[in-house]
Structure formats: C-alpha cells, structure tokens
Amino acid sequence: MKNSALKGALGALAVVGVALVAKKVAQRKKFMKGIFEEYGIKEKSPFGLADKIREMNDEQYHELRGRFKKEFTSRCCRKDDACKA
C-alpha cells in the first residue's frame, strides 16, 4: 500500500510539472507571435526574424534585443542573488 500512495503522489507531481512547462511554452509562443505581428514578419521562422533584424537600424535592434533578454533570461540564479552554484 505504501508504494501505491507514493506512486500516486509522484504521478500528481509529474502532472503539475508538465502543466507548468506547458504554461511556460504557451507564454513564450505568445511573445514570439507578438514580435512577428509587431514587426510585420510574414515568414514565421527564425530565418524570417533574421532577415528583419538585418533590415533594422541599431536603435531598433537594441530595443528588440532588450525585449528578448527580458523575456528569455533565466530567473533561477542571478549574479546579485545569494545563490552561488
């Protein structure tokens, strides 16, 4: 009986983990879709984004780069945190 309870708890934990990952993927997909729509990129691929970046001036590029950095940075450990692995 102990093993079945443990398996059930681990199964529930796995379902929660999968749900969190799915939520994060959906958020990032929504962010990328917004970038493609905002900059008028027809080809929804990394190549279309790269072509648009080549056409940008420095100011637009740095703005886009900052938005990507803000969205895709790891929130696990930062240099100013006490977490030092």
**What's the pLDDT score for residue 80?**
58
Burial classification of residue 27, based on how many CB atoms lie within 10 Å of its CB (0-12 exposed, 13-18 middle, 19 or more buried):
exposed
Per-residue pLDDT of the chain (85 residues; tens, 9 = 90+): 568 888 888 999 999 999 999 999 999 899 888 888 888 888 888 888 888 888 889 998 999 889 888 888 877 766 655 554 4
> Would residue 42 count as lying in a domain?
yes
Report the pLDDT value the prediction gives residue 21, as an integer from 0 to 100. 93
If DSSP states are collapsed to H, E and C, what string results for the chain?
CHHHHHHHHHHHHHHHHHHHHHHHHHHHHHHHHHHHHHCCCCCCCHHHHHHHHHHCCHHHHHHHHHHHHHHHCCCCCCCCCCCCC
| pLDDT score for 85 | 43
Say if residues 44 and 36 touch (Cβ distance below 8 Å).
yes
Instruction: Note the pLDDT of residue 78.
Output: 60
- Is 27 inside a domain boundary? yes
Tell me whether residue 85 is in a domain.
no
**Residue 54 belongs to what domain range?**
3-72
What is the total count of domains within the chain? 1
pTM greater than 0.75: no
